[in-house]
Structure 1
């Protein structure tokens, strides 16, 4: 039983260290993305294009087992759309990056409007929803006013910020968990 407890503690320690190391790597990637937003945006655009091409192949493959003729037609049509968009993005990643930026602007605008409506009509912490809605609309406006130049940096910066914040939160979570585990271990040994 003591061996099992020691093994569990060892595994927990390894997981905590892994979370801290993983968080540090994500934070580092986030900083790199912030310093190279255009390259990051192009890489994300290429990744999206490749994912769409793979999706096209999956839809075409699914057409062979679709059953009815109608299902086959829909699967093939979806495959053609996925393939066309994926190949278009891969052949011109900057156009893909511009499209991603337009989608980000639309997302921030829709999110801001919905949060403001919720803040006015909903219940709960309406002030924070309202603030979040205003910030989202300001971000959408900032990107829209700077468009198309904002397409060169917006996606990369936003992705970099997300990686940095996620990495830092993983580090802090790992440290907090490790401190809590360290505080519990002496108390359990005494009891």
Structure 2
């Protein structure tokens, strides 16, 4: 193998940073598993977090009102801050209502996104893989419909489980990337180079 190939192997970004990537992936996957195991706690936590973010945005608008160029701009900033604060307090005080609302939004998203995927798959006539897109769309419609039909009881688990599954898949993908970087690291070492991540 040429020296240019050796250099390319040595300079692969993942080969020098696979350890922290693997750690982040493992932690993300663990949090995903916990979210799936405890979906209700996860859903309520997400609702409270959204409320706190809205409250923080309200404080930002209040602070920005003092630097507004004129009194009209300051008034609008105060109005926005009040709206954010009211919404944030409502989410923090009553996270179950927020959880139920988010579940309805999630069900609607799955249904409409599924319809779009089916339409796109049907439109891709003669293209390979169109069946997967149609299947994904149908699955999304079914999941959305099941969440909608079971509402409000589905609010107890839907947000938490889906959030957990997303974290788990993200964590596993990061671990796979880290393992790929580790293989590149080992390959560069076997070629007699000195990888920076060793």
TM tier, shorter chain?
0.7 to 0.9
Corresponding position: 1:111 with 2:113 = yes
Structure 1 residue 56 displacement after superposition:
1.1
Q: How does 1:12-91 map to 2 (within 5 A)?
A: 15-91=17-93
Structure 1 residues 134, 66: CA separation in 2 closer, same or farther (over 3 Å shift)? farther
Between the two structures, name the one with larger relative contact order (CA 8 Å, sep ≥ 6). 2
Count of residues in correspondence between the two structures: 182
Structure having the larger proportion of residues in helix: 1
Structure 1 residue 68 displacement after superposition:
4.0
What is the Cα-based RMSD across aligned positions, in Å? 2.3
TM-score of the superposed pair, with normalisation by structure 1 = 0.84
The more displaced of 53-62 and 73-82 is: 73-82
Structure 1 residues 174, 145: CA separation in 2 closer, same or farther (over 3 Å shift)? same
1:88 partner SS: helix
Structure 2 residues without counterparts, runs of 5 or longer:
1-6, 194-198
Structure 1 residues without counterparts, runs of 5 or longer:
none
TM-score of the superposed pair, with normalisation by structure 2 = 0.81
Find the counterpart in structure 2 of residue 149 from structure 1: 153
